[in-house]
Amino acid sequence: MDLNYSTEDLAFRAEVRAFLEAKLPQDLSDAVRLGRGLGKEGHDRWHSILNEQGWLAPTWPEEYGGCGWNAVQRHIFDEECCRAHAPRIVPFGLTMLAPVLQKFGSDQQRAYFLPKILSGEHWWCQGYSEPGAGSDLASLRTRAVRDGDHYVVNGQKTWTTLGQYANWIFCLVRTDPDAKQQEGISFLLIDMDTPGIEVRPIILLDGTHEVNEVWFTDVRVPVENLVGEENKGWTYAKYLLTHERTNIAGVGFSQAGLEAVKRLARQQIHRGRPLIENPHFAARLARAEIDLMAMATTNLRIISAAAQGQAPGVESSMLKVKGTEIRQEINDLARRAAGVYALPFASEALAGDNSALAPPEGSDAAAAQYFNNRKLSIFGGSNEIQKNIIAKVSLGGRT
Amino acid sequence: MNFQLTEERQMLQDSLRRFLADRYTVTARNKAIADPSGYSSAIWTQLADLGVLGALLPEAVGGYGGAGFDIATIFEELGRAGVVEPVLDTAVLCGSLLCGPHDAQPLPRDRQYLERLIAGDLQLAFAHGEPASRYERTWVETTATVGGQDIVLTGRKSVVVNAEAAELLIVSAREGGASGDRDGLSLFLVDPKTAGVRMQGSALLAGGRAGEIELDGVRLSPSARLGAAGGAAVRVESALAAAEVALAAEALGAMETATRLTMDYLTTRQQFGRPIGTFQALQHRVAEMLIEVEQARSAVINAAGHLEGAPQVRDRHIAAARNLIGRTGRHIAEEAIQLHGGIAMTAEYELAHIAKRIVMSEHRFGDADTQLERFIDLSAA
């Protein structure tokens, strides 16, 4: 056992930190720190800064432009990015679709799509969930019917994150309605400019436009946009989901969130003292920090095993459950710290107002983020589904 | 023991519940939320006509209620329907401030305001909280000093709910004593158009609006004072007690709605070929929600039943109720969202609004931690 990072790891951390100090634009890190939206322009700007550095695709093999980092280095990079309030990399093209194309795509698809993901020319979104198919994804109903050298797609996808910015969508579609549920599904790449596609915004309870419904009416998709074999899409989808679950613990987000709570609690005054000195608040904050310290090590244990070639099993489900619980608790502490300043809508709470009437920094978005992050335990396979997986694997053969 | 409502309260509850079920649809509520005033003046008038505002105030000032159980009965219904109209701020909080303690007789001027309030013809806001007060009831740094014939107010008030719509603000200020003292606190009726009052409004996450207020040498006539100079603490504390009973009952009503919506959803939503309510893991969680609603109901009954009692006993029961509802309310709101899945996160689905009402109620007058501290202090005394 050695709880310390190696000398090489520490040097790598210093290199990442220096890069972030030099290249991360202040306006972007401010927006992230204060929980405000970046817009497409902000995301694009950070995407191209990372691409220029060659650090955009840590999970890709080097032959496609990946960084060649191991799991520990990727973890250090994530942690430093969170610490510096760097924008989150929009994952749909880079960490979800790209591994599928690299493993199952045709040479032509790889050659065409991968460079455009790196350059930012293609902004991908995910077409998995449907109104009747959430955690039970295999019950999806969007149909694709072969017509000559095209598929004709009809149906509806939902919860399409940042779909309003996307020009391409990867979709699971049903190509054989008579097959068993998980068979008869195919994986299609669809240009969002194709006639028959309509994107409708879903406004979330915190007032943000982050997700969308995407409707398909007789959308014609060339057959060369099929990934792998027809009716084998479920295999590729599952492969994608294992990649979606990298960095699932969100340790860096929780650490940054905890720091934000502490900053806010130092500014807020209760009975003439900073809130952070209040014993009840301090006790809750300490409990969250203790849970996070243990979870960070659980995460490192799993990452370290993965770096030595062991495939994570139920551990990723455990990290999803615990990681989201801790992040949500930290969000709850932030809204608590904000006190009455949690009440106003973030978007209207005098953001950027430097006058005497401005709220304490970080307080205006606290409640909105608390509500928004209730999604963490719902998406990517709800925490209930994760617990079913843990129980099924662990009790398998015993009951 | 008798836990039945009186006949009058039962009738008011029934008619209010029917009115809100018919008229306070999701569309009507969203329209009220989007209104620049933060509420619907048509609904406000109808609530007044139904007798809702009068039932929150005592007979001595022209009302027909005002007891803890009147307030709880009405606010449970307002909470059940997710009403955003400023009944709490105008009628309970400012109404109580205008009435004063039980043995006080309001001045003719204040009686007139109360009559207009009951008729639905007056909006008010209590400008009390400040950047450093954080739920402390008598932590006021705003000063009221004598300047010639006038009284001069200087200070800052934060998140004053209903401030923009209010024809009059009731402003707390210190004429003596140090921050946090009970002595030296006074209340003033302030027209927000008075020179030196600066206000910036914003919408609230759970509906309604609030204003940030700066008082920069605001000059008032001494007649603007409400009650005795320096002796307003009792008035403030009893008004806040009534408001906390109202808020606890409102959260209870909202928790009932969240639980009902969740049960409806679990019986209709199909996943893996059957309603998700057939999964035992989810059934147990609904059972816990139902247990917590009943605990919350008992806590509201305790608080409402002691509103007219001695301040220390009253406040201990209120702190207990608000701490319990702070905890169980968060649990029910989060469970309701989780058991619904993504749909609960969307602004247009009713649960989103209800969940926000429940959680954000903690941010008025003290969250669960603050209430816990109050309970401990009051238990030790």
Q: Does B161 touch chain A (CB under 8 A)?
A: yes
Q: Are B203 and A332 in contact (CB < 8 Å)?
A: no
Q: How confident is the model at residue A244 (pLDDT cuts 50, 70, 90)?
A: low
Amino acid at A16: V
Strands (E), chain A: 124-127, 143-147, 150-157, 168-174, 185-191, 197-203, 209-222, 226-227, 269-270, 273-274
Residue A236 in 3-state DSSP?
A: helix
How far, in Å, are A100, A155, A278, A292, B345 from residue A240 at the CA level? 6, 22, 46, 27, 25
Nearest Cα of chain A lies from the Cα of B350 at a distance, in angstroms, of: 10
pLDDT at residue A134 in the model: 82
Please give the Cα distance from A307 to B141 (Å, whole number): 58
Is A340 in contact with B129 (Cβ distance < 8 A)?
Answer: yes
User: How does DSSP classify residue A343?
Assistant: S
Q: Which residues of B touch A373 (CB under 8 A)?
A: none
Burial of A56 (0-12, 13-18, 19+ CB in 10 A): buried
SS3 for A150? Answer: strand
With a cut of 80, say whether residue A264 has pLDDT above it: yes
Joined together, the tokens standing for residue A33 give: 């720190």
CB contacts, 8 Å: A159 with chain B? 342
A56 min Cα distance to partner chain B (Å): 30
* Nearest residue to B185 via CA among B223, B242, B130, B138: B138
Looking at A144-148, A378-382, B13-17, B230-234, which range is the least confident one? Answer: A378-382
Residue A354 burial (C-beta neighbours within 10 Å; 0-12, 13-18, 19+): exposed
The pLDDT assigned to A397 comes to: 64
Would you place residue A347 in the very low, low, confident or very high pLDDT band (cuts 50, 70, 90)? low
Q: How far apart are CA A193 and CA A122, in angstroms?
A: 12
Distance, in Å, from the CA atom of B124 to the CA atom of B87, rounded to the nearest integer, reads 10
User: With contact defined as beta carbons under 8 Å apart, do A171 and B313 qualify?
Assistant: no
Residue A61 distance to chain B (closest CA, Å): 34
Cβ within 8 Å, pair B204-A377: no
B352, closest residue in chain A (CA to CA): A205
Q: Which of residues 166-205 of B touch A (CB under 8 A)?
A: 179-180, 198, 200, 202-205
Chain A: closest CA distance from residue B146 (Å): 24
CB contact under 8 A, B341 and A378: yes
Inter-residue contact A240 to A91 (CB < 8 Å): no
B189: which strand partners? Answer: B170
- pLDDT the model gives residue B39: 97
Cβ–Cβ under 8 Å, residues B55 and B63: yes
Q: Is residue A398 packed enough to be buried (19+ CB in 10 Å), middle (13-18) or exposed (0-12)?
A: exposed
| CA terminus-to-terminus distance, chain B | 29
Question: Of all residues in chain B, what percent carry a pLDDT higher than 90?
Answer: 93
Q: How many CB pairs under 8 A join A and B?
A: 149
pLDDT of B64 higher than 50: yes
What is the separation of C-alpha B12 from the centre of its chain, rounded to a whole number of angstroms? Answer: 19
Kindly determine whether residue A340 and residue B345, on different chains, have CB atoms separated by under 8 Å: no
Tell me: pLDDT of B376 over 90: yes
CA of B173 vs chain A CAs: smallest distance (Å): 17
Any bridge partners for residue A169, and if so which? Answer: A125, A190
Listed residue (B319, B326, B262) closest to B289, CA to CA: B262
Instruction: Average the pLDDT over A201-230 and give the result.
Output: 96
> CA-to-CA distance for B216 and B219, rounded, in angstroms?
9
Mean pLDDT (whole number) for B218-243: 96
Cβ B206–A387 below 8 Å, yes or no?
no
Over the stretch A301-342, which tens digit does the pLDDT of each residue have? 888 887 777 766 788 899 999 999 999 999 999 999 999 999
Q: Given a cut of 70, is residue A349 above it in pLDDT?
A: no
B62/A312: higher pLDDT: B62
Q: Which two tokens stand for residue A259?
A: 């720091």
Closest CA–CA distance from residue B264 to any residue of chain A (Å): 16
Put simply, the answer to whether A378 touches B203 (Cβ < 8 Å) is no
CB B26 within 8 A of CB B90: no
Which chain A residues are Cβ-neighbours of B359 within 8 angstroms? 335, 367, 370-371
Of A371, A376, A388, which to mutate for an interface test with B (greatest number of B Cβ within 10 Å)? A371
* Under 8 Å between Cβ of A59 and A118: no
Provide the total of helices (H) and of strands (E) in chain A, helices listed first: 13, 10
CA within 13 Å, CB half, B123: 18
- Residue among A268, A375, A382 whose CB faces B345 most closely: A375
Residue B272: closest C-alpha in chain A: A136
Cβ contact (<8 Å) for B359 and A139? no
* pLDDT, tens only, A52-78: 999 999 889 999 999 989 888 988 999
Cross-chain residue pair A268–B367, CB shorter than 8 Å = no
Query: Does residue B364 belong to the interface with chain A, where contact is any CB pair within 8 Å?
Result: yes
Residue A377 CA: distances (Å) to CA of A235, A317, A326, A373, B347: 24, 11, 11, 8, 18
- Find the closest chain B residue to A282 by CA distance: B369
Q: For residue A316, what pLDDT is reported?
A: 86
Structure tokens of B147?
């300047």
Q: Is A244 a catalytic residue?
A: yes
Q: B130-184, pLDDT tens digit by residue?
A: 999 999 999 999 999 999 999 999 999 999 999 999 999 999 999 999 999 999 9
> What are the DSSP calls for A299-311, one per residue?
HHHHHHHHHTTPP
- For residue B241, give the nearest of B233, B251, B229, B231 by alpha carbon: B233
Token readout for B345 is 């996160």
Q: Do A270 and B136 touch (CB under 8 A)?
A: yes
B33-51 burial: b if 16+ Cβ within 10 Å, else e: beeebbbbeebbebbbebb
Q: Looking at chain B from residue 206 to 265, which residues have their Cβ under 8 Å from any Cβ of chain A?
A: 206, 210, 212-214
Q: Which of A182, A266, A340, A341 to mutate to test the interface with B (most CBs of B within 10 A)?
A: A340
**Active site residue: A210, A244, A315, A329, which one?**
A244
CB environment A109-121: b (16+ within 10 A), e (fewer)? bbeebbeebbebe
Angle at alpha carbon of residue B341, lines to B336 and B343, rounded to 5°: 95
C-beta of residue B38 within 8 angstroms of C-beta of residue B202: no
Question: What are A140's strand-pairing partners?
Answer: none
Cα A362 from Cα B300, distance rounded (Å): 33
CB contact (8 A) between residue A339 and residue B135: yes
Binned at pLDDT 50, 70 and 90, residue A399 comes out as low
Residue A119: its H or E element: helix A107-119
